[in-house]
Every structure is written in C-alpha cells, then in structure tokens.
Amino acid sequence: MNDTVIHATDADFDSAVLQSDEPVLVDFWAQWCGPCKMIAPALDQLAAEYAGKAKVVKVDIDQNRNTAMKYHVRSIPMLLLFKDGQVQATQIGAVGKAQLSQMIDKAL
C-alpha cells in the first residue's frame, strides 16, 4: 500500500478534502468492486507523482455512507476532483491513469 494515498472517513472528510490547500482527487470505492481494484495502482502512482501539488483520497462507501450519500455516489468507482472545497470534475467508472492525470492537471 502506498503511503501517499489518504483514506478518509465521514469524520475527517472535511479536513482531508474540503479544507485542503491542494486539489484533491477523491476515489469513492468498495472492497467488493472489481473496477475499483483495477484503478487502485494508477491512483497510487498519481498520489506519488503529484505529492506536494495534489492529493489522492479514497473513501470506502460501505464504511462512510454519509459522505457517499452527500455526494450522490450511485455507482463506483466514482472519482470527484475537489478544489477549494468545491467539486470541479466527476468521473464515473474505471478510466486510465492518463485521463485521471488530466483531471488533476486542469485543477492545478
């Protein structure tokens, strides 16, 4: 497991994501989700590559239902890009690292 990916909960989502000085790519996922597991290595790489410029945060929807409901997570993986506490971009479904990288680049 990569140390640079942050695992947020309902309790610390605001401080980890909404109050971040850097753009944050949030991955809403679950243990049972195959496509979520497929994109995990790309997220680990992005977290390392963007360290100091942007953050990658994962939220397990089964353990953090309030946050999942707040952002209307209906299918996973669902990735939201936050900047200054606001959602800037949404990606539903597994996509390649390049596409996720473009999402982050637009917010930098």
107 is annotated as an active-site residue: no
Tens place of pLDDT per residue across the chain (108 aa): 446 899 999 999 999 999 999 999 999 999 999 999 999 999 999 999 999 999 999 999 999 999 999 999 999 999 999 999 999 999 999 999 999 999 999 999
User: Could you say which of 5, 25, 36, 56 is catalytic?
Assistant: 36
Domain ranges of the chain: 11-93
DSSP letters for 33-82: -HHHHHHHHHHHHHHHHTTTT-EEEEEETTT-HHHHHHTT--SSSEEEEE
Residues with Cβ within 8 Å of residue 22, at least 6 apart in sequence: 52, 53, 54, 55
In contact, 103 and 26? CB cutoff 8 Å = no
The pLDDT of residue 3: 63
34 is annotated as an active-site residue: no
Residues with Cβ within 8 Å of residue 39, at least 6 apart in sequence: 27, 77, 94, 95, 100
Give the pTM: 0.95
The pLDDT of residue 1: 45
Does the domain at 11-93 match CATH 3.30.420.10? Answer given as no
User: Could you say which of 8, 24, 26, 33 is catalytic?
Assistant: 33
In contact, 17 and 26? CB cutoff 8 Å = yes
